[in-house]
Amino acid sequence: MRGLIRGGDAGAGPAHAPASGRDLRVDFFRGLALWFIFIDHIPGNRLGDLTLRNIALCDATEGFVLLAGYAAGLAYGAAMDRRGWVFAAATLLRRCGTLYVAHIFLFVVFAAQVGYSASLLDAPAYLDELQLDPFRDQPYVALLQALLLRYQPAFLDILPLYIALLALLAPLLPLLRRPLTLLGLSATLYLLARGLDLNLPNWIDGGWFFNPLAWQLLFVTGCLLGYVPRGPGGVRRPPPVVPFRQDLAAGAVLVLALGAAASLLARVEEPPDWLPERLGLLLTTVDKNALHPLRLVSVLAMAYLLAHAVPRRAAWLRSAAAAPFVLMGQHGLPVFCTGIFLSFLGRLALEQSDRGPMQLAVNLGGLLALVGVGLVAAWYRQREKAPALPVATPSSTTPA
């Protein structure tokens, strides 16, 4: 498996650096986030009690978007430095096209999967819960709205967010060289999106579940952390690192500790009497749709601590235990799409039996399937990059 783990750039983009330049931490934590997303999408999955969403004021989605921004800044920023903004933007938009095709394919497969299961098991609640009832009632209109990204059933809203964030980055690529300007513009848009309730239109509920105008701040932050201009002679240095300071580390620990306490309190049916009313109200308004500031601060605090706690060249990142997650992180698109499909199968399985053996089969089987998809994707990528075999030509002395 480790032989299929790619060296080079950590992004899902066009620029590939030497093997020494790859930050396996990004791949590992992105793979872990993809596995958490799979787990969290399965109702009744006991392993879901141990994922990030239950111990912090953020979850795997925030981690995925931050790492996606880091990879985009690293890859497309390098492409811009080497071949100019037009080429980098065109390559980035081509990636948007790939993601769009993957999203539409996943939409069709997921709708067929859920619709057939609802019909076979006489369970129309599946359609209502996963917001596929419009596809049942108005299939042609729903399909058109899906093609326009204005209709996003449950679990099918992450890829549209990623597409929108990449498309937004295309005209802003040159501002990676002016980080304060880019961060200021991004923060202004974030505040406007939250303060004025700005969002992209959605066919059903009025706006996208993941508001790209707010989530772009986290994505842009990742881009700025990943981008580094080429030095003299075109040599790429490692991406910049926020210096370690004890006061920043202590603040990050405090943020995460308070977030963990708040997450536990939020799961209590009856809030304690000693809990201030204003604090209880705050905990109920930490929205995910427009990336509440507490969620933003939480994921940045976690990223800061992990970046300094895990050395860039930590030996365990190249171990057999880490290899499955590194591999999944390097092939995020097929792994994510497969995870959405498998999560509904896992739900069906746990509805038949939620005891330990089935829980183990769903989670372990799902992980092995996702790793298998990563292996296949890695194998294809290696074959595509392998030198072509010479084509044999018939010799003049060869009999006809």
Contact 127, 118 (CB under 8 A): yes
Two tokens at 383?
């074959």
Could you read off the pLDDT of 122-158 as tens digits, one per residue?
A: 999 999 999 999 988 899 999 999 999 999 999 999 9
CA distance 247 to 249: 5
Own/partner contacts of 42-47, CB < 8 Å, gap of 24 or more, are 42/343, 42/346, 42/347, 42/350, 42/362, 43/347, 43/350, 44/347, 44/350, 44/351, 44/354, 45/346, 45/350, 45/359, 45/362, 45/363, 46/354, 46/359, 47/359, 47/363
Total domains present in the chain: 1
> How distant, in Å, are the alpha carbons of 64, 74, 246 from that of 239?
18, 8, 22
Nearest to 103, CA basis, from 40, 152, 38, 62 = 152
Beta strands in 108-157 (DSSP E): none
Contact 323, 2 (CB under 8 A): yes
> 322 lies in a domain?
no
Residues in the chain with pLDDT < 70?
1-21, 231-240, 268-284, 388-400
> 324 lies in a domain?
no
CA distance 151 to 108: 12
> 292 lies in a domain?
no
Could you read off the pLDDT of 229-241 as tens digits, one per residue?
A: 876 665 666 666 7
> 203 lies in a domain?
yes
Could you read off the pLDDT of 374-396 as tens digits, one per residue?
A: 999 999 888 877 776 666 555 54
Q: What is the pLDDT of residue 271?
A: 62
CB atoms within 10 A of CB 341: 16
Q: What is the pLDDT of residue 147?
A: 95
Q: What is the pLDDT of residue 274?
A: 63
Q: Judge residue 247's burial from the number of C-beta atoms within 10 Å of its C-beta, 0-12 exposed, 13-18 middle, 19 or more buried.
A: exposed
Domain of residue 189 covers 61-240
Q: Judge residue 101's burial from the number of C-beta atoms within 10 Å of its C-beta, 0-12 exposed, 13-18 middle, 19 or more buried.
A: exposed
> 190 lies in a domain?
yes
CB atoms within 10 A of CB 311: 11
CA distance 58 to 53: 6
> 119 lies in a domain?
yes
Contact 54, 361 (CB under 8 A): no
> 116 lies in a domain?
yes
> 264 lies in a domain?
no
